[in-house]
Amino acid sequence: MSFLILVRHGQSIWNLENKFTGWVDVDLTKKGESEAEKAGLLIKKKNIQINFYYSSLQLRANNTLKIIQTVLNDKKDFVRAWQLNERHYGALTGLNKIEMSKKIGEEKVYEFRRSWDIKPDALKKESPYHPENIKIYKNIPKEMIPDTESLKNTYERVTKYFEKEIQKKLDDKNVLISAHGNSIRALCKKLFNLDNNQISSLEIPTGNPLIIELDKNSKIIKCEYLDKERAKNLPIF
């Protein structure tokens, strides 16, 4: 038996400002730090020995994980992987979601946010929000850096990395991943075998650990959000 714990980072500055964030590297708000601390306390109560930690390259996910590890008094190094980054929102990056809803319509914004294979327009390379202009991405091969992504694109990079680097560790070890709304949704699609309609309606709350219990054949036995008051709809398995 093993455990996989998925944690979306706590509230970020751009979450609070209701902006499309994507690959822009913003930090947590004070509320986000509190959510991460509470996540750590809830995980601690489960008394699970975590063997491996993973996160994206992005500050909000990294700092969420660091706060969790501080609460757990666990100083293990964690792996940072760009493949676990949030979905790239292309030309929507930095724009306010409510203002965009007024400008192009709620239905169109929802389509960009939740459709399976529709991408926003590409973000221009001269934008300060383009990953090529953000220091933390300087070691990623340029041909791998997206200008925009659909959820399908995000799913492909996230699950490819999961299958190669993480899945084998779940044979008998416990893993915690601190990542993002869409990278975790992508993982849930794979783990729970969700179809494209199910994934479009799956909400991932900030700073609320989703704990997945697996048997020796990596079959899901049980899953639950640890913060019951802020639990969203669980994937069906």
Examine the residue annotation and report whether 180 is marked as an active-site residue of this protein.
no
Quickly count: other Cβ atoms within 10 Å of residue 77's Cβ. Answer: 8
**Backbone dihedral angles phi then psi of residue 222, each to the nearest 5 degrees:** -160, 150
pLDDT digits (tens, 9 = 90+) for 193-209: 999 888 888 889 999 99
pLDDT over 90 (residue 212): yes
pLDDT digits (tens, 9 = 90+) for 83-120: 999 999 999 999 999 898 888 888 877 777 778 998 99
| CA gap 100, 115 in Å, rounded | 17
Instruction: Domain 2-230: give its CATH architecture.
Output: 3-Layer(aba) Sandwich (3.40)
35, 86, 88, 130: the catalytic one is: 86
Residue 206: closest CA among 45, 24, 64, 21? 64
| CA gap 68, 60 in Å, rounded | 12
Share of the chain above pLDDT 70, in %: 99
Check: CB of residue 11 under 8 Å from CB of residue 35. yes
Examine the residue annotation and report whether 86 is marked as an active-site residue of this protein.
yes
pLDDT digits (tens, 9 = 90+) for 35-94: 999 999 999 999 999 999 999 999 999 999 999 999 999 999 999 999 999 999 999 999
9, 88, 130, 180: the catalytic one is: 9
